[in-house]
Amino acid sequence: MNEIVETLRKAGHRVTLPRRAVVRVLLQAERWLSPEEILTPAREYCHSLSLVTVYRTLALLSSLDCVRRIHFENGCHGYARTELVHGHYAVCRDCHRVVEFTGSDALNPLLEQVEAQTGFLVESHMLELVGLCAACHDSE
Amino acid sequence: MNEIVETLRKAGHRVTLPRRAVVRVLLQAERWLSPEEILTPAREYCHSLSLVTVYRTLALLSSLDCVRRIHFENGCHGYARTELVHGHYAVCRDCHRVVEFTGSDALNPLLEQVEAQTGFLVESHMLELVGLCAACHDSE
DNA sequence: GTGAATGCAAACTATTTGCAAAGGT
DNA sequence: ACCTTTGCAAATAGTTTGCATTCAC
């Protein structure tokens, strides 16, 4: 049994076919997906699945910190499983691949500096890198 | 004449009353504003102003890099004039004040490290800090 | 005077909600 | 059996577009 389903169960939520379907699609993807992009393949696992349920499942998984929203300049967002983007991530503008990176501790001195500079108490931050992944970079 | 209006004119766009109204509101604000939040006060300067025109003006100003979109976890966005947030910014979750900070060159080593680590060619990045500004921090 | 800009209404996209039926435990 | 979850339809929020009128240049 996979981790996300396990988290669902432990939190007292029911493990239903529609939810399994959404989770399976998320687990297979190495990239972020829009709700629509989740719906289509997930229907192979649950024929009756509706977009509404995809939204509801994503909201639930999000509250359990199993998936994360991915943000863009234009405002539309996608979802990727947290395991994929536990900390900070880079998004390929071409294939939508999402890759986590480490080393964002390097931000800490900056955050402290900002607090000193602006008087802000920084509670959270959003750092998203956009570019081309190795594969898309090579094929351009 | 202010800088934004000047930019409009130089780019060959007409300086109309509705546009002036939107610009005036943006210039007065030290914080980000939603289109609705721009509409209401701007109507004092241009009675007939419609929300549609606010959107169109913001899109135009955005393309001229006179305003910038501000992003949030929940996806809704606001706008602030570029002068206010030329580089990176911190947003107060309480009063919505937007404060620019400097020193984000500190990111460069991280970006290079990410390129080496992931193979990505990083083209752009989004860094937004959220927290409490000094004023709101004190009054809590 | 002429083409750009505006305002209205309507379309559109993304997302959420009410409610009866279905399904997991 | 009970209560959560689902799917449909409809509502909602935010934003964009078509088109005739208005206005800056």
The pTM of the full predicted model, rounded to 2 decimals, is 0.81
DSSP of A20-82: HHHHHHHHH-SB-B-HHHHHHHHTTT-TT--HHHHHHHHHHHHHTTSEEEE--TTS--EEEET
Say yes or no: Cβ of A63 under 7 A from any atom of strand D: no
- The verdict on a CB contact (< 8 Å) between B103 and A120 is no
Q: Please choose, from the candidates A53, A41, A62, A51, the residue with its C-alpha nearest in 3D space to the C-alpha of residue A16.
A: A53
Q: What is the pLDDT of residue A73?
A: 61
CB A90 within 8 A of CB B119: no
Residue A36 CA distance to nucleotide D10 C1' (Å): 20
Nearest-Cα residue of chain B relative to residue A107 = B107
Which tens digits make up the pLDDT trace of A45-63? 999 999 999 999 999 999 9
Q: Please choose, from the candidates A85, A74, A71, A77, the residue with its C-alpha nearest in 3D space to the C-alpha of residue A29.
A: A85
Say yes or no: Cβ of A55 under 7 A from any atom of strand C: yes
CB B133 within 8 A of CB A118: yes
* Two tokens, residue A139: 């094929």
Q: What is the pLDDT of residue A76?
A: 64
Q: What is the CA radius of gyration of chain B?
A: 17
Which chain A residues contact residue B130 at CB under 8 A?
A: 122-126
Q: What is the pLDDT of residue A48?
A: 95
Q: How far apart are CA B105 and CA A39, in angstroms?
A: 41
Q: How far apart are CA B97 and CA A53, in angstroms?
A: 36
Q: How far apart are CA A3 and CA A140, in angstroms?
A: 37
- The verdict on a CB contact (< 8 Å) between A123 and B132 is yes
Q: Please choose, from the candidates A138, A83, A115, the residue with its C-alpha nearest in 3D space to the C-alpha of residue B119.
A: A138
Which tens digits make up the pLDDT trace of A83-111? 766 678 888 888 888 888 887 788 888 89
B98 touches chain A (CB under 8 A): no
* Two tokens, residue B52: 């549609």
Say yes or no: Cβ of A35 under 7 A from any atom of strand C: yes
Q: What is the pLDDT of residue B58?
A: 95
Q: Please choose, from the candidates A86, A87, A85, A97, the residue with its C-alpha nearest in 3D space to the C-alpha of residue A130.
A: A97
Which tens digits make up the pLDDT trace of B80-113? 877 766 678 888 888 888 888 887 788 888 899 9
Mean of per-residue pLDDT scores for chain A: 88
